[in-house]
Amino acid sequence: MDYRRQLDLDGEIAVVTGGARGIGFEAAKALGSCGAHVVLIDLDQGVLDAAVAALADAGVTSVSTRPLDVTDPDALEAAATDLAAELGKIDILVNSAGIARLNSALDTPDEEWRLVMDINVNGVYWASRAFGRHMVAKGKGSIVNLGSMSGLIVNRPQSAASYMVSKGAVHMLTKALAVEWAPMGVRVNALAPGYVATDMTLKMRDRPELFNVWMDMTPMARCGEPQEIASAILFLASPASSYVTGAILSIDGGYTAW
């Protein structure tokens, strides 16, 4: 076996939701750097255009975009059908779109709860269903979901019931789809990242009563970098992980090892 080719994605088609920024953007860069044609899905075409330009600066030029909302199942189905027809197949899906809200259960408005569940859970399910049906039809594919260590433990000192519940649901959805689709040649895995240096996390430096506790509870005493998460996504999307399905890979600097 030529192990150097295990991360070769030449000719593969990879779709990344939430692909215009943060972990999704780094995932797109990693997949594209290894040869995949990358389709970025995000809400705003202007943000998508900026991401395409940034990817080009990094040497990733085989990129297309689709502005859509992952909470719209009909739009996802239409995009999957159009892309499969246009590009010939769908090989990889990375479900990176997501939001977080820090409110106690008693103070979480109903509309906020629904929004978190709609994006973090329904969006992952609907995207997986839309693109997964094309993978099942050709007997091959890999789906990587962005879960969270918050789906494995209870965060502290902040309250974030909606986020924790949503990520726990992503983990179980990952396992359910992995078992259901394994006979059809489709692998489904998830990452459970800890605190990662995205804009969403770094702005919490302004709240040291939270941020300092997070770092104290992380054995490596730092945030992960988006590219460190993207490297794990690359592994799970590639032939290097061909016998891995239904896995929830913790990548949290040791936070959940205590």
Of residues 163, 195, 243, 255, which has the active-site annotation? 163
The Cα–Cα gap between 187 and 247 comes to: 10
Q: Give residue 79's region: left, alpha or beta (phi > 0; psi -120 to 50).
A: alpha
Structural element, H or E, at residue 232: helix 226-237
The Cα–Cα gap between 116 and 97 comes to: 11
* Buried/exposed 21-45: b ≥16 CB within 10 Å, e otherwise: bbbbbbbbbbbbbbebbbbbbbeee
163 part of the active site: yes
Is the separation of the CB atoms in 31 and 6 below 8 Å? no
The C-alpha angle 98, 244, 73, rounded to 5 degrees, equals 35
CA distance readout (Å), 229 to 38, 112, 206, 225: 17, 27, 24, 7
- Cross-strand partners of 31: none
Is the separation of the CB atoms in 192 and 252 below 8 Å? yes
Which tokens in the block code for residue 136?
A: 């099942």
Comparing CA positions, the residue from 181, 111, 85, 97 lying closest to residue 141 is 181
Residues with catalytic roles: 163
